[in-house]
């Protein structure tokens, strides 16, 4: 021993780690992803990331299912806990408990690889534009299938998309069109741009256990591999790789290294080290990136990404659906990657839903709405001003005026002047209550119930409008003496139906109350 007696060392405070995570944005992402897990009955969880496209800062990151960080050794799955408790052999029980904990702790956003599906078409299209291998008016024909070597490779739309130009091919997420574009690119260019967009090597994000992407060796890329690569199948990436690459397109082709640590501070709050944004490389030109922003905005406004629409904001993005291996097992990954505003991108969002079992599994159907809800909350929180299009202005919601305490005639005049209808309940001369209340926003033409007698509220039963078109749902709800408030893309063309409603069918509520319904477009990948 080097000392005759004990030697004591005084403890020293370590440094505090300040993250780039924004608590409010993290809350929005956690909430919407949790709902998506439940609604779509995900068998293998989900991941979501929000990134600042200009700096590479991770503003939110979550994996579901998650666990209580204050109790990391408590398993969150009751079925797994019960199964482990039934194991008699102590050694086997300890081994399986350890494996279950490792799985629970795993950060799906950085450690899990998946086939990106059609979200990868962002990079196929960007590479083709950058290499001058495609022009906006180039024509592509989709019959629903394309033969490559001895393989018949299908489009998600089995009837085909017919004749389409380059922008249409992106909007429609057309596999045969992208296989034709992939042929023009060739294996060398695919390898070049997959490396350029950093979809093979780890991003270097300051988090543990980051996985690498898994891509073909150049010598193993034949015509079939080129074809499947063009629409995002046959290789694997991580969510952090994908959102970083999407951010590069949004950021004028500039790839920024993703990071989650902002500062190190001492016990007095003094900044000891600042982590600045790191520019890595220019992947495509600013001109190419700008064109892609326009094309990807059309995906949301007119194409397969309609369900990511946010009123007042120009959202751009791409849908993705990939079948898990082994094939033909009915297991899919649905994803959507997007950014906004399309003309001056601030944030990128990636949502990945693993093995939905609720019936729908297309990324455009179940992942895009989650991104849309996250975008809506985050853009408003960041004070990005909404800009309504003429079509949106006609559907803009306004606040119902406060008329409680006014004479019945004054109340009628105020309601009509604001653009609403009214119905009177009771024989009094003064309005004692109103439904909906003034805090509610609805489109002009909604009906406000004016009650002139205390306790004179009348009730009705909420009708079932699930699977109805928006028009059918509105007629049904209005005929029941209620008002409808829509969420979802209310301006896009194509088939759309109600997928959620609140209150639930059969509940009894007051006349004039609002039924909140969510619609989704079905003709999307």
Predicted pLDDT at 396: 84
Global pTM value: 0.92
Task: Report whether 474 contacts 443 (CB < 8 A).
Answer: no
Catalytic pick from 11, 31, 118, 433? Answer: 118
CA 117 to each of CA 100, 107, 144, 324, 442: distance values in angstroms, whole numbers, following the listed order: 29, 21, 17, 10, 38
- For residue 7, the number of C-alpha atoms closer than 13 Å in the C-beta half-sphere is 4
What domains does the chain contain, in order, with CATH numbers? 110-387 (3.40.710.10), 396-521 (3.30.10.20)
Task: Report whether 419 contacts 397 (CB < 8 A).
Answer: no
Q: Can you tell me the distance from the alpha carbon of 230 to that of 117, in angstroms, rounded to the nearest whole number? A: 9
Is 80 exceeded by the pLDDT of residue 470? yes
Mean pLDDT of 251-265: 98
Report helix, strand or coil for 206: coil
Q: What is the pLDDT of residues 309-328, one digit of tens each?
A: 999 999 999 999 999 999 98
Task: Report whether 337 contacts 400 (CB < 8 A).
Answer: no
Q: What is the pLDDT of residues 279-311, one digit of tens each?
A: 999 999 999 999 999 999 999 999 999 999 999
Residue 3 pLDDT level (bands cut at 50, 70, 90): low
Mean pLDDT of the chain: 94
Predicted pLDDT at 305: 96
Predicted pLDDT at 267: 87
Q: Can you tell me the distance from the alpha carbon of 386 to that of 398, in angstroms, rounded to the nearest whole number? A: 15
Long-range contacts of 401-405 (CB under 8 A, 24+ apart): 401/438, 402/434, 402/437, 402/438, 403/431, 403/434, 403/438, 403/448, 403/450, 404/431, 404/432, 404/433, 404/434, 405/430, 405/431
Predicted pLDDT at 249: 98
Comparison of pLDDT for 455 and 136, the residue scoring more: 136
Residue 439 pLDDT level (bands cut at 50, 70, 90): confident
Is 80 exceeded by the pLDDT of residue 266? yes
209: left (phi over 0), alpha (psi -120 to 50) or beta: left
**Among candidates 307, 351, 292, which has minimal Cα distance to 127?**
292
Which residues face 46 on adjacent strands? 64, 353
Is 70 exceeded by the pLDDT of residue 211? yes
Residue 491 pLDDT level (bands cut at 50, 70, 90): low
Share of the chain above pLDDT 70, in %: 98
Cα 316 to the center of its chain, rounded Å: 11
Q: Can you tell me the distance from the alpha carbon of 61 to that of 331, in angstroms, rounded to the nearest whole number? A: 24
* Helix residue ranges, H only, 382-506: 390-393, 408-417, 470-479
Mean pLDDT of 125-138: 97
Predicted pLDDT at 5: 73
Q: What is the pLDDT of residues 340-349, one digit of tens each?
A: 999 999 999 9
Task: Report whether 505 contacts 474 (CB < 8 A).
Answer: no
Predicted pLDDT at 360: 93
Is 70 exceeded by the pLDDT of residue 1? no
Which residues face 517 on adjacent strands? 486, 501
Predicted pLDDT at 12: 83
Residue 28 pLDDT level (bands cut at 50, 70, 90): very high
Residue 173 is among the residues annotated as catalytic for this protein? no
Q: Can you tell me the distance from the alpha carbon of 491 to that of 314, in angstroms, rounded to the nearest whole number? A: 13
Residue 36 pLDDT level (bands cut at 50, 70, 90): very high
Mean pLDDT of 486-512: 87
Q: Can you tell me the distance from the alpha carbon of 520 to that of 446, in angstroms, rounded to the nearest whole number? A: 22
Is 60 exceeded by the pLDDT of residue 493? no
Backbone angles phi, psi at 27, to 5 degrees: -60, -45
**Beta strand pairing status for 421-425 and 447-451?**
parallel
Share of the chain above pLDDT 90, in %: 89
Q: What is the pLDDT of residues 411-426, one digit of tens each?
A: 999 999 999 999 999 9
Residue 54, Cβ density class (10 Å: 0-12 exposed, 13-18 middle, ≥19 buried): middle
Predicted pLDDT at 252: 98
Task: Report whether 500 contacts 473 (CB < 8 A).
Answer: no
Which residues face 425 on adjacent strands? 451
Predicted pLDDT at 77: 86
Is 60 exceeded by the pLDDT of residue 503? yes
Is 60 exceeded by the pLDDT of residue 377? yes
């Amino acid at each position: 021993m080097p000392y005759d007696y004990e030697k004591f060392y005084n403890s020293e405070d370590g440094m505090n780690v300040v993250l780039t995570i924004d608590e409010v944005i993290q809350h929005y992402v956690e909430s919407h992803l949790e709902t998506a897990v439940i609604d779509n009955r995900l068998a293998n969880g989900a991941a979501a990331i929000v990134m600042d496209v200009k700096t590479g800062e991770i503003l939110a990151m979550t994996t579901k299912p998650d666990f209580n960080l204050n109790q990391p050794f408590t398993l969150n799955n009751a079925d797994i806990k019960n199964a482990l408790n039934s194991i008699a052999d102590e050694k086997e029980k300890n081994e399986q408990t350890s494996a279950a904990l490792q799985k629970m702790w795993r950060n799906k956003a950085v450690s899990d690889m998946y086939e990106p599906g059609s979200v990868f078409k962002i990079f196929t299209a960007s590479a083709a534009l950058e290499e001058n291998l495609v022009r906006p008016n180039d024509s592509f024909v989709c019959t629903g299938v394309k033969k490559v070597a001895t393989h018949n490779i299908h489009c998600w739309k089995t009837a085909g998309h017919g004749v389409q130009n380059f922008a249409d091919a992106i909007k429609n997420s057309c596999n045969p069109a992208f296989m034709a574009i992939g042929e023009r690119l060739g294996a060398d260019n695919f390898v070049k741009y997959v490396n350029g967009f950093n979809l093979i090597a780890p991003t270097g994000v300051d988090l543990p256990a980051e996985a690498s992407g898994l891509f073909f060796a150049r010598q193993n890329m034949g015509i079939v591999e080129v074809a499947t690569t063009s629409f995002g199948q046959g290789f694997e990436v991580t969510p952090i790789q994908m959102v970083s690459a999407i951010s590069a397109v949004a950021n004028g082709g500039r790839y920024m290294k993703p990071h989650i640590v902002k500062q190190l501070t001492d016990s007095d709050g003094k900044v000891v080290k600042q982590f600045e944004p790191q520019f890595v490389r220019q992947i495509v030109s600013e001109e190419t990136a700008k064109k892609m922003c326009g094309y990807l905005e059309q995906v949301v406004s007119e194409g397969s990404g309609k369900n990511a629409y946010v009123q007042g904001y120009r959202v751009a993005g791409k849908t993705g659906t990939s079948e898990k291996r082994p094939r033909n097992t009915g297991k899919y990954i649905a994803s959507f990657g997007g950014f906004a505003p399309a003309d001056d991108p601030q944030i990128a969002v990636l949502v990945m839903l693993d093995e939905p079992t609720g019936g729908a599994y297309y990324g455009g159907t179940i992942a895009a709405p989650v991104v849309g809800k996250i975008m809506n909350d985050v853009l408003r929180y960041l004070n990005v001003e909404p800009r309504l299009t003429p079509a949106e202005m006609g559907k803009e919601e306004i606040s119902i005026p406060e008329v409680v305490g006014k004479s019945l005639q004054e109340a009628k005049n105020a309601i009509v002047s604001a653009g609403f209808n009214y119905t009177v309940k009771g024989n009094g001369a003064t309005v004692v209550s109103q439904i909906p209340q003034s805090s509610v926003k609805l489109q002009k033409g909604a009906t406000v119930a004016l009650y002139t007698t205390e306790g004179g509220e009348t009730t009705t039963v909420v009708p079932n409008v699930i699977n109805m078109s928006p028009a059918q749902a509105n007629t049904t709800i209005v005929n029941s003496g209620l008002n409808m408030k829509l969420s979802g893309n209310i301006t896009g063309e194509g088939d759309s139906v109600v997928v959620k409603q609140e209150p639930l069918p059969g509940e009894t509520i007051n006349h004039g109350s609002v039924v909140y319904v969510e619609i989704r477009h079905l003709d999307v990948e």
